Amino acid sequence: MKVLLSSVFGPYGVDDEYGQASCRMELFHNQVTREQGVFSIRMFHPTFGLHFLAANISAATTVLDFPSEARFVEELRNDYDVVGISFIVPNFERAKRMAKLVRRHAPRAKIVLGGHGTPLPEVDEIPNDGVCRGEGVRWLRSFLGEDPERPITHPILSDSFGGRILGVPVVDHSGHLTPGLGCPNACFFCLTSSFFDHKYIPYLTTGREMFDVCEAVERTLGYRKFYVMDENFLAHPERAYELADLIARNGKNYRFSLFSSAENIKKVGVDFLVRLGVISVWLGVESNLKTFPKNRGVDFASLVRELRDHGILVLTSAILFLEEHDRANIWEDIRETVALEPDLIQFMQLGPAPNTPVYRRFRASGRLIEDVPYAEWHGQGQIWFRHPHFSREESGRILTDAFRYDYDTLGPSLVRMAETVVRGFQNINGSRDPLIVRRRESLRRRAEKFRPFLAAARHHAHNDNARALIERVRATYDEAFGPMSLKQRAQGQVVRAYAAQEARRVAAGRNNYQPPTIVTRYRT
């Protein structure tokens, strides 16, 4: 039995028959730092789900990440029994094209479809022999005639590749962890929650299991930093407490980036996050106009400040074009989100994605605009529903203006992140607890890495706010660590050269990097 699992083909983020320039493959550059020019944070992430599947079936399996159409066809010549295609809603047409290519070039192969595009009502327009909606490991095992209930194996994976900061290729790897899928909070817009039937499906149920995967990643890849792909990791505090305890007892300096709701951060406390080794948190603010149960009673301004004071980077996400938004209050909401002063902000348009409560409601009431192609259903272009106060064109303009307002007001996220790290270093001081001493030392090492970038950043400040931020942060670094060393100054010159080149690229509109094709073979 031979299985091929593929992501959709590129190129990505270009206007063509399959997609739009406003739907890029890089997470941060697509929806967080997209208007920050040369300062935009660049990196790609592998298609984690496919690797998870590959690690958990018995068949010889190839994972094809980011192929071109031609490379996909070439791979089909390897006589596969099953070809799996994973896609999200805006990639519906790409998945359809790929399935047709499978029928033509590998007619013997069975086609299975998975990913967040599968709840689309038209999914069966894509030639297929099986559609996985929801958790995929057990589904694929059953499809292949394997025991669906045997234990889960967590793959040993890098979280990202192709990182660039100010044009400099950076090697700052994290391991990937998926403790579980889905979220029971059932926020009305949330596709991940509805995709898994508003349930949480654990893969790593205890802190011990997580710790064992961390150790395996450290042994195999040498990484001690981890990106935790779990919608609300701290919703299961016992697992986090056990993990923190094992880290302390084993003298490890593991560090984690997490998604968490504010209520769960409040429950465990920011001091615990420092002990656990959390270095960044993705926090769903959603809107300052509407209270979501997960945010009830949370003072976001003080929570964001407290996290940053402890050296924890904060990414807040906000949704625009909610039904409550009108021309006046949408800007109040944007300004309040920016006034929280996080390191990074994601603005997304409300996107009624299939199967979500908002989709069902808008569909029933005729508010979806029927002729918007699925390629435009991604939240960074224009809305695809009738809003009482905004046209589609306005939704695109206001979204762009919101990102620019963030950048113009708070300055480059890169420099805000550098500020958080030095703030943490200065504040977490005086403890004799060996764990806290290690945390502080790791903040110092991270701060050192920022210094050459800060030196180059001043040459690219786009307004007075950015200039003031860069000078303030540089002064704080001087105060905390003394003047830059000769080596750091030399590195600053190198960064400056890269940044100048990158700035020319951005100015010329050549700001869309493509990920390389990555072929990973399991048991072949």
> Residues in the site for ligand SF4, rule: CB under 6 A?
183, 185-187, 190, 192-193, 231-232, 261, 284, 294
Burial of 126 by CB count in 10 Å (0-12 exposed, 13-18 middle, 19+ buried)? buried
Taking the complex as a whole, how short is the minimal distance between the CB of residue 182 and ligand SF4, in angstroms? 8
Select 86 or 194, whichever has its Cβ closest to ligand SF4: 194
Select 50 or 183, whichever has its Cβ closest to ligand SF4: 183
Task: Please give the helix or strand (H or E) that residue 103 lies within, else none.
Answer: helix 92-105
Give, as one character, the DSSP assignment of residue 293.
Answer: G
Select 192 or 517, whichever has its Cβ closest to ligand SF4: 192
The answer to whether 509 touches 41, Cβ cutoff 8 Å, is no
The answer to whether 497 touches 167, Cβ cutoff 8 Å, is no
Instruction: Give the CA-trace dihedral at 163, 164, 169, 172, to 10 degrees.
Output: -40
Taking the complex as a whole, how short is the minimal distance between the CB of residue 261 and ligand SF4, in angstroms? 5
Select 282 or 453, whichever has its Cβ closest to ligand SF4: 282
Q: Which of 103, 104, 98 is nearest to 117 (CA)?
A: 98
Select 4 or 181, whichever has its Cβ closest to ligand SF4: 181
Taking the complex as a whole, how short is the minimal distance between the CB of residue 434 and ligand SF4, in angstroms? 35
> Which residues make Cβ contacts (< 8 Å) with residue 322, sequence separation at least 6?
287, 289, 290, 350
Taking the complex as a whole, how short is the minimal distance between the CB of residue 186 and ligand SF4, in angstroms? 6
Taking the complex as a whole, how short is the minimal distance between the CB of residue 307 and ligand SF4, in angstroms? 17
Distance in angstroms (rounded) separating the CA atoms of residues 201 and 435: 31
Q: How many CB atoms lie within 10 A of CB 365?
A: 10
The answer to whether 225 touches 189, Cβ cutoff 8 Å, is no
**Alpha-carbon torsion 73, 25, 348, 232, what sign?**
positive
Q: Which residue has the tokens 């299961």?
A: 236
Tokens of residue 481, six digits: 């660590």
Q: How many helices (H) and strands (E) does the chain have?
A: 18, 17
Taking the complex as a whole, how short is the minimal distance between the CB of residue 284 and ligand SF4, in angstroms? 5
Amino acid (one-letter) located at 512? N
Q: Which of 128, 160, 149, 129 is nearest to 42 (CA)?
A: 160
Taking the complex as a whole, how short is the minimal distance between the CB of residue 134 and ligand SF4, in angstroms? 15
Taking the complex as a whole, how short is the minimal distance between the CB of residue 281 and ligand SF4, in angstroms? 13
Select 33 or 356, whichever has its Cβ closest to ligand SF4: 356
Select 128 or 356, whichever has its Cβ closest to ligand SF4: 356
Select 36 or 232, whichever has its Cβ closest to ligand SF4: 232
Select 255 or 294, whichever has its Cβ closest to ligand SF4: 294
Distance in angstroms (rounded) separating the CA atoms of residues 496 and 458: 10
Strand partners, 349: 320
Strand partners, 161: 44
Distance in angstroms (rounded) separating the CA atoms of residues 419 and 313: 9
Taking the complex as a whole, how short is the minimal distance between the CB of residue 282 and ligand SF4, in angstroms? 9
Taking the complex as a whole, how short is the minimal distance between the CB of residue 183 and ligand SF4, in angstroms? 3
Instruction: Give the CA-trace dihedral at 389, 393, 395, 400, to 10 degrees.
Output: -150
Taking the complex as a whole, how short is the minimal distance between the CB of residue 200 and ligand SF4, in angstroms? 9
Tokens of residue 157, six digits: 């994976």
Select 54 or 187, whichever has its Cβ closest to ligand SF4: 187
Give, as one character, the DSSP assignment of residue 296.
Answer: T
Angstrom CA distances, 18 to 72, 87, 512, stand at 16, 12, 16
Select 128 or 261, whichever has its Cβ closest to ligand SF4: 261
